Structure 1
Amino acid sequence: MSSETLLYIILSGIIALLLALFQYLYKAKSKSRLNMFLAFLRFVSIFSILLLFVNPKLESHTIYTEKPNLNIAIDNSGSITYLNQKENALSVLNSLKSNNQLTDKFNINVYSFGNQLNPIDSLGFNEQQTNLDKVFGELNQVYKQTVSPTILISDGNQTIGSDYYFAASKYKQPIYSVILGDSTVYADVKIQQLNVNKYAYLKNKFPVEAILVYQGEEESIQTEFNISIGNTVVYKENVSFSKDNNSRIINLYLPTNQVGIRTYKASLVPIENEKNTINNSKEFAVEVIDQKTNVALISDYIHPDLGALKKSIEANEQRQVSILNPVEYLSKSNDFQLVILYQPTNNFKGVFDYIKTSGANSLLITGVNTNWNFLNSLDLNYTHDLNNQTEYYQPILNTGFSDFIVENLEFESFPPLKSNFGDIKFKVPFNSILYKKVGSLSTENTLLATIDKDNRREAILLGENIWQWRAQSYLNAKSFNQFDNFIGKLVQYLASNKQKSRISLEYETVYEGNTNVFLKAQYFNKNYEFDSNETLSITTIDRVSKESNTFPLILKGNYYQVDLSSLPASEFDFLVKSISENLSKSGSFKILDYNIEQQFLNADYKKLQQIAVNSNGNSFFAANSNELINEILEDKRYKPIQKSIKNIVPLIDWKYLLALIVLCLSAEWFIRKYNGLI
């Protein structure tokens, strides 16, 4: 409390005392006990009121002891079961959780991980992927400012994500690795990786790259690599390995003679005394199609958006983009199924004439260089306000959009697009995918919209610098896939003139055995409006075993979704059905037989030891977990920290002072009334 505040308090006390004495001693000219008591009540009331005007700040200190955290992350992936380490993992976890000395010294936080890091619920050791990179990244965000040594119970085998060695090097906490598995090196040959395109074209050849690896001490071994489809071998090659030359990369081309999904099996003939033969073979599938969707991207000048759009669209191998000027496009316009018009000017007159006469589908992207005087003079389905001002617009997803499934890509985090100031006016029905947001003001003015009229589809995006959206999407998700899928769905919608079905499905024709199998659906009422009150179910039939299963679809915003990851590897026919109107839609997909968690023979103990040493921790095999407990208990770095919280509370927030003022004034009034002084 400052000296100035203290002076005001003393002055308030003097003023309150003088007023009380003046009222009950000087004016009353009596020093009776009653007057003295009334003077006291008046003094307290006035002094309290004056204190509220001074409003001094009161300080309080709370001292408490904070224990360090002890984070335990246990591997819940299928490789733990496959390496017969399930019992060891549970034994180590139980010994840590039940140790009273540890619970007294630490706040113990237990997590399990596979593809995601989650607070522990139950352990089934059946996760299909292991992402140790995400484990250290997420723990670092939560415990960055605390003392939190971390125990990692794992075999160290990672199947997805960036190399966890680098994530662990940025993790500023000691790591104690509990190694599940042994360090014995077994002789083994395996198919480390197969690189194959998802699509191939009829009467063509598609490339296959196979990475083969040998693990062992032999100076020379011989085996055979082959690829078969059904019972027919379509490729065969003898391969040799040695202790020093332990990997081979084989590049080959396979022919396509039939449209549809073609499933192949790549295999390595097992070597003598090989312990794990599961990783000797791997299935892959290719969808053979007979044509490509050609997209013309027409522009008069170079802009980064052109490259971003080309990369996003061509992320789907069924599509090819050609960047052309208007004259080049008109010379080969019949080659394209979709036209993208980027910031058109007067030079696009012939292009618009061709689109009108041919009924071609189109996407119009505008920006500050777009000639709206020219566009407004054409007989288009929209017009735009004319002015020379520009504005920056951020996107807001319209969750009611229903022409196709759009997932929220965190659009609110995307940089604004630059465009002409003003609104667009549509002459025909349209659907907005994205609305405009100006600064902090959200609007329902269109930023991106679709039009479906007279068996022709078009879309319009009112802004340039979409390349920044693709870059931001990568920063958000560490991948371009989400943004590319968004552009791909828009292109797929525009490239097709099929009449809208009341049940729309989105799924892959082929799923890897180690990935999640999701199917999404939209259901529309008779007015083709998305209906979120319908009940949808899917029935799957295994083509091999003829087993049938039925699953409900769960509402997820503006679409329904079902997780079919529990299905075994096989080929399936399915039927999605609505309950109320008995509408249905069918399809088929294939789940490949591949479990990446069964590709390992032993623990990656060297890396687990390395990350422990680099973080000033230590590593232990599961059998030595008691040594781990003793080392952590004896480590002097992990001591409770005494902390103090200083609270500064203004007197005006103290409710008891108000109660005191009311009590004193009320008591004074009742006493005066009782004694006839009022």
Structure 2
Amino acid sequence: MSSETVIYIIISGIIALFIALFQYKYKAKLKHKTHTVIFTFLRFLSVFSVLLLLVNPKFNSVKYHTEKPNLVILADNSSSIKHLKRDAQTVRIFNSLKNNTALQNKFNIATYVFGSDLKASDSLQFEEKETNIHAALQQIAHVYKNTNTPTVLITDGNQTYGNDYQFITSRFKQPIYPVIVGDTVTYTDIKIEQLNVNKYAYLKNRFPIEVILVYKGNATVNTKLQIYKGATVVHSEAVRFSKANNSKIVNLTLPANSIGTNTYSAKLVPIENEKNTINNVKNFAVNVIDQKTNIAIVTNILHPDVGALKKSIESNEQRAVSIVKPETYVAQQNDFQLAILYQPDADFKHVYTLLNSLNLNRLVVIGTKTNLAFVNENTSAYSHELLPQIEEYQANFNSNYVPFQIDNIDFESFPPLQSNYGSVNFYVPYQNILTKRVGDVATKESLLATIENESRREAVLFGENIWKWRAQSYLNTKSFTDFDNFTGTLVQYLATAKKRNRLNVDFESFYIGNSNVVINAQFFDKNYVFDTRETLTITVTNTKTDVKTEFPLVLKNNNYQVDLSSLQAGSYNFTVKAHTANISKSGSFTILEYHVEQQFLNANVTKLQLLATNSNGKGYFIDSSNALAEDLINDQRYTAIQKSIKTTIPLIDWKILLAIIALALSAEWFLRKYNGLI
């Protein structure tokens, strides 16, 4: 309280006393001296209290309390602990630390468990399928960033995904005390470290597989790598390891003989006395696509190009080519997935009408015998200048071509194509694969271009005698393969039709067991605008047990999404249904069995000890819980802190002062009334 406030209080007391004496000593002149004293006191008390409220002095109040440091007990709840047969020991040390009376007296203890996510819990089940130690420590660091909080980390140190946790100490400023769970003895072990395979393959082709094998041990061992499809061995290969040669990369190819999702299993035959054989097996799957395509070459003329195109395209046995007249194509259009219009003329009128009305993809070859006026009249995508002159052009490859991957098969060395002289004007977006070159002079004119317009794809070759290119490619490489792959890639691009559906479902044909099984869907209204009002559900049926489960799809970031990670490994059929519009779409997928938490044989002692050292903590093995508790209790860095809380209370907040004023005024009135002074 300031001296100025004290002066105001003294003045208030003097004023209150003066008013009381003036009222009852000077003016009233009571007969009884006792009455004068009582009335003067009551008037002084009420007036002085009112004046105190006007002065409103403030009083400081200080409270003291002791704040204990925090202690976080962070336990690994992943299934790898159970796989290493350390679950009972882990539960014992977890309970021992959290129930330790001496630790409770010194610390505020908080318990957490983690797998893929951090959770506040005081119990362990060891059912988490993945481990992210870095994320758990990062969240603890965020929660306790401004406190003195040592962290006890009970784990085997084996992380299945996330950033490397040994570098967390750059942001985690608290000491970490790892309790190392698991076997520290090194055993002889062979395992499949990684398996790389494309998700898709084409029917009757061969698909490549890369298998990375790792060996831990000192002796020389022999084993076999076997690839199973069901119960059948489709590939077997002997493998030899030694201390010096402890890893091997095996590359092989397998045939794609059946359409759909084909599941396989890669297995290393266990060596003698091998403790962990689970990591000897890796399951994988390949979705085999039927690429069978019927293609029509529509032409009115005989030309070597037609035969060259037919042979080149049919080098892929999944494609069949028919050479037909324009009227035959119109009659049999439903039999073909792609039309190649070779040097169209006026007889192609109905062909163009049909293609344009159905918005079908096409490949057009324009040469010296093409009716350019007719082509210009029947296509809106481009027009060719009408000049009678014929020119020969060589090809320049556009390395910046984007729509699909295509290799330069030394186009610059190919003979020139005969083409009509004059420029080509495009009226829609296009991209050049090849541009024209006259001698050494490069032009920007298109020789081979692709167009995508209103979901339709078209390619245009402005030149004939492409048969010479196929022959030159053979002379260059002693094989037709490069040229045939080039035409095959172009045909594949054009034969792929994208249909516009109101309900689109995005899913994988197979999922690895430890990854998130997430299916996305999009629903559009009749104007093909994304509709957020629809209710979508998915019904999933296990093909083996016929058990059906229904899940709702949740709207998330302009997608409807459902997480099916709770499903067990197996094959499933599903149907996604839009209930209001009564539209549905079906499919199937396979969840491959894979236990990433069971791939570990030992605790990661080195990394955990390094984590302890870098954080100014200390590492302990699972049998050292008593030593850990004693070290924490005796560590002088963790001591209780006495803190004070100072609060300022204004007099006006004292309700008792209001009561005093009320009582003083009431008593004065009652006594005056009783004594006949009113």
What is the CA distance between 1:526 and its match in structure 2? 12
1:592 is aligned to: 592
2:49 is aligned to: 48
What is the CA distance between 1:607 and its match in structure 2? 1.8
- Rg larger in structure: 2
1:393-408 aligned within 5 A? none
1:68 is aligned to: 69
For 1:99, give the aligned amino acid: N
What is the CA distance between 1:121 and its match in structure 2? 5.1
What is the CA distance between 1:142 and its match in structure 2? 1.7
**1:599-630 alpha-carbon deviations (Å, 9 max, x no partner):** 00111122222222333332222223222223
What is the CA distance between 1:106 and its match in structure 2? 2.1
Does the CA contact (< 8 Å) of 2:542 and 2:570 recur in 1? Answer: yes
CA distance in 1, matches of 2:549, 2:213: 40
CA distance in 2, matches of 1:573, 1:134: 35
Does the CA contact (< 8 Å) of 1:72 and 1:108 recur in 2? Answer: yes
CA distance in 1, matches of 2:158, 2:285: 26
**1:445-478 alpha-carbon deviations (Å, 9 max, x no partner):** xxxxxxxxxxxxxxxxxxxxxxxxxxxxxxxxxx
CA distance in 1, matches of 2:615, 2:237: 46
Does the CA contact (< 8 Å) of 1:522 and 1:530 recur in 2? Answer: no
CA distance in 2, matches of 1:35, 1:517: 93
Correspondence 1:332 to 2:333? no
Specify every segment of 5 or more residues in structure 1 that has no aligned partner in the other structure, as ranges.
Answer: 292-317, 336-353, 362-494
2:179 is aligned to: 178
2:354 is aligned to: none
CA distance in 2, matches of 1:522, 1:676: 93
Does the CA contact (< 8 Å) of 2:502 and 2:526 recur in 1? Answer: no
Correspondence 1:548 to 2:547? yes
CA distance in 2, matches of 1:523, 1:20: 87
Does the CA contact (< 8 Å) of 1:551 and 1:562 recur in 2? Answer: no
Does the CA contact (< 8 Å) of 2:455 and 2:498 recur in 1? Answer: no
What is the CA distance between 1:655 and its match in structure 2? 3.6
**Any idea what SS the aligned residue of 1:511 has?**
strand
1:14 is aligned to: 14
- Relative to 1, partners in 2 of residues 1:238 and 1:34: Cα closer, same or farther, differing over 3 Å? farther
Does the CA contact (< 8 Å) of 1:224 and 1:269 recur in 2? Answer: yes
**Any idea what SS the aligned residue of 1:623 has?**
coil
**1:25-81 alpha-carbon deviations (Å, 9 max, x no partner):** 333244844454444344344433433443333221111122222211111101011
1:634 is aligned to: 634
CA distance in 1, matches of 2:623, 2:521: 50
- Relative to 1, partners in 2 of residues 1:91 and 1:121: Cα closer, same or farther, differing over 3 Å? closer
1:5-404 aligned within 5 A? 5-30=5-30, 32-120=33-121, 122-168=123-169, 170-195=171-196, 210-218=211-219, 220-225=220-225, 227=227, 229-230=229-230, 239-249=239-249, 260-287=260-287, 330=428, 332=430, 359=454
CA distance in 1, matches of 2:57, 2:254: 85
What is the CA distance between 1:111 and its match in structure 2? 1.1
1:603 is aligned to: 603
Q: Choose the corresponding residue for 2:502, options 500, 503, 509.
A: 500
What is the CA distance between 1:515 and its match in structure 2? 2.5
CA distance in 1, matches of 2:197, 2:39: 96
Does the CA contact (< 8 Å) of 1:128 and 1:515 recur in 2? Answer: no
**Any idea what SS the aligned residue of 2:619 has?**
strand
Does the CA contact (< 8 Å) of 2:112 and 2:121 recur in 1? Answer: yes
CA distance in 1, matches of 2:506, 2:38: 85
For 1:500, give the aligned amino acid: R
**1:510-547 alpha-carbon deviations (Å, 9 max, x no partner):** 32211243456799999997569x7x87543322x334
Task: Select between 240-249 and 631-640 the one with higher mean Cα deviation.
Answer: 240-249
**Any idea what SS the aligned residue of 2:51 has?**
helix
- Relative to 1, partners in 2 of residues 1:632 and 1:319: Cα closer, same or farther, differing over 3 Å? farther
2:567 is aligned to: 567
- Relative to 1, partners in 2 of residues 1:328 and 1:600: Cα closer, same or farther, differing over 3 Å? farther
CA distance in 2, matches of 1:44, 1:529: 76
Does the CA contact (< 8 Å) of 1:553 and 1:560 recur in 2? Answer: no
- Relative to 1, partners in 2 of residues 1:334 and 1:24: Cα closer, same or farther, differing over 3 Å? farther
1:457-536 aligned within 5 A? 498-501=500-503, 507-519=507-519
**Any idea what SS the aligned residue of 1:127 has?**
coil
Specify every segment of 5 or more residues in structure 2 that has no aligned partner in the other structure, as ranges.
Answer: 292-401, 407-424, 434-450, 457-496
**Any idea what SS the aligned residue of 1:103 has?**
helix
CA distance in 2, matches of 1:48, 1:604: 75
What is the CA distance between 1:259 and its match in structure 2? 6.5
CA distance in 2, matches of 1:599, 1:117: 22
For 2:657, give the aligned amino acid: L
**1:77-124 alpha-carbon deviations (Å, 9 max, x no partner):** 010111111111112122223332222222221111111111115422
**1:571-617 alpha-carbon deviations (Å, 9 max, x no partner):** 11134568999986543221111110000011112222222233333
1:657 is aligned to: 657
The two structures have a TM-score, normalised by structure 2, of 0.61
CA distance in 2, matches of 1:142, 1:332: 55
CA distance in 2, matches of 1:222, 1:613: 40
**Any idea what SS the aligned residue of 1:330 has?**
coil
Aligned pairs, number: 490
- Relative to 1, partners in 2 of residues 1:651 and 1:321: Cα closer, same or farther, differing over 3 Å? farther
CA distance in 2, matches of 1:639, 1:35: 63
CA distance in 2, matches of 1:508, 1:660: 80
What is the CA distance between 1:6 and its match in structure 2? 3.1
**Any idea what SS the aligned residue of 1:514 has?**
coil
Does the CA contact (< 8 Å) of 1:169 and 1:611 recur in 2? Answer: no
For 2:547, give the aligned amino acid: S
For 1:114, give the aligned amino acid: G
- Relative to 1, partners in 2 of residues 1:53 and 1:359: Cα closer, same or farther, differing over 3 Å? farther
- Relative to 1, partners in 2 of residues 1:552 and 1:541: Cα closer, same or farther, differing over 3 Å? closer
**1:266-316 alpha-carbon deviations (Å, 9 max, x no partner):** 34343333221211222233556789xxxxxxxxxxxxxxxxxxxxxxxxx
Does the CA contact (< 8 Å) of 1:523 and 1:531 recur in 2? Answer: no
CA distance in 2, matches of 1:274, 1:540: 39
- Relative to 1, partners in 2 of residues 1:186 and 1:59: Cα closer, same or farther, differing over 3 Å? same
What is the CA distance between 1:232 and its match in structure 2? 6.9
What is the CA distance between 1:163 and its match in structure 2? 0.8
Percentage of matched positions with identical amino acids: 53
CA distance in 2, matches of 1:512, 1:601: 21
Does the CA contact (< 8 Å) of 2:207 and 2:254 recur in 1? Answer: yes
CA distance in 2, matches of 1:10, 1:208: 97
For 2:541, give the aligned amino acid: I
CA distance in 2, matches of 1:514, 1:561: 19
- Relative to 1, partners in 2 of residues 1:656 and 1:540: Cα closer, same or farther, differing over 3 Å? same
* CA RMSD in angstroms, aligned pairs only: 4.3
**Any idea what SS the aligned residue of 1:602 has?**
coil
CA distance in 2, matches of 1:616, 1:32: 82
What is the CA distance between 1:143 and its match in structure 2? 1.9
CA distance in 2, matches of 1:83, 1:37: 89
For 1:330, give the aligned amino acid: V
CA distance in 2, matches of 1:290, 1:665: 102
**1:396-450 alpha-carbon deviations (Å, 9 max, x no partner):** xxxxxxxxxxxxxxxxxxxxxxxxxxxxxxxxxxxxxxxxxxxxxxxxxxxxxxx
CA distance in 2, matches of 1:52, 1:321: 87
- Relative to 1, partners in 2 of residues 1:598 and 1:23: Cα closer, same or farther, differing over 3 Å? same
**Any idea what SS the aligned residue of 2:89 has?**
helix
